Amino acid sequence: MSTWIQITAGKGPAECCYAAHHVMKRFSGDARARQIKVVTLETIAGPRPGTLKSALLSLNGPDIEGFVASWAGTIQWIGQSPFRPGHKRKNWFVGIYAVTPPEETDFRDKDLRIDTMRASGPGGQHVNTSNTAIRITHLPSRLVAVAQEERSQHLNKRLAMARLKALLQARNDQASMAAQHAQWESHTTLERGNPVRVFHGPGFKEKR
């Protein structure tokens, strides 16, 4: 069974998207060096050439669980902005998360209600003017999954479907459901403390 990975700059600026692009290259290279096959399912380009807002990857191979555990969480890049010379900020953050792949045969179309809405930020304010956020309701169980962290409606729909599948699998396991919910909450706001990996400079040299 494949494992899906989301690499995201969250709502960070172009510099975070720049870091996400390089993190994806390092992550994919590390996976292939471990004989893990990497398939890019979808990417959302960032605002500048060589930048990446988000990527959804599929992994297949040996010891995927251990490999993912070594990368999952917040990745920090310490470096000068390549777009704003003299900018004082030098710490940029990217998130890497495991996503449960949805199985299309799990759901019948008539059992789902899919609603689009505007993504909202802290305090409920709208963070964009287009309906990119997705809410999917599984009518038989009344379970609801929402995805709003990406700027692509299509990618938010795929993420919401994956989350709904996980909710259905975990509905009889409250502890597991709580753990999943906590993980999903971290998609919207990247945690800046305790990064799992730290890279430095334009060459993205990893700090050991």
State the pLDDT at residue 192.
66
CA dist., res. 159 & res. 134, Å (int): 9
DSSP H/E element including 60:
strand 52-60
117 and 83 inside one domain: no
State the pLDDT at residue 60.
94
46 and 126 inside one domain: no
194 and 177 inside one domain: no
49 and 71 inside one domain: yes
- CA separation, residue 207 to residues 21, 75, 163 (Å): 18, 11, 33
79 and 181 inside one domain: no
State the pLDDT at residue 39.
93
- Give me 164's structure tokens: 């709904």
Sign of CA dihedral 6, 57, 131, 9: positive
Q: Pick the closest to residue 194 from 95, 98, 122 (CA basis).
A: 95
Three-state SS at 92: strand
Number of domains in the chain: 2
State the pLDDT at residue 50.
95
37 and 114 inside one domain: no
151 and 201 inside one domain: no
Identify the CATH number of the domain in which residue 168 sits.
Answer: 3.30.160.20
181 and 78 inside one domain: no
Range of the domain at 163: 104-186
CA dist., res. 13 & res. 29, Å (int): 25
10 and 95 inside one domain: yes
State the pLDDT at residue 124.
47
DSSP H/E element including 74:
strand 73-78
127 and 88 inside one domain: no
- Give me 208's structure tokens: 């050991």
pLDDT along the chain (208 residues), means of 10: 88 94 97 96 92 93 94 96 93 90 68 87 51 91 89 89 81 50 51 85 89
CA dist., res. 172 & res. 166, Å (int): 11
- Give me 30's structure tokens: 């590390």
Identify the CATH number of the domain in which residue 96 sits.
Answer: 3.30.70.1660
- CA separation, residue 108 to residues 32, 60, 141, 169, 197 (Å): 36, 27, 13, 16, 41
26 and 97 inside one domain: yes
* 54 and 9 Cβ atoms separated by less than 8 Å: yes
17 and 97 inside one domain: yes
CA dist., res. 47 & res. 15, Å (int): 10
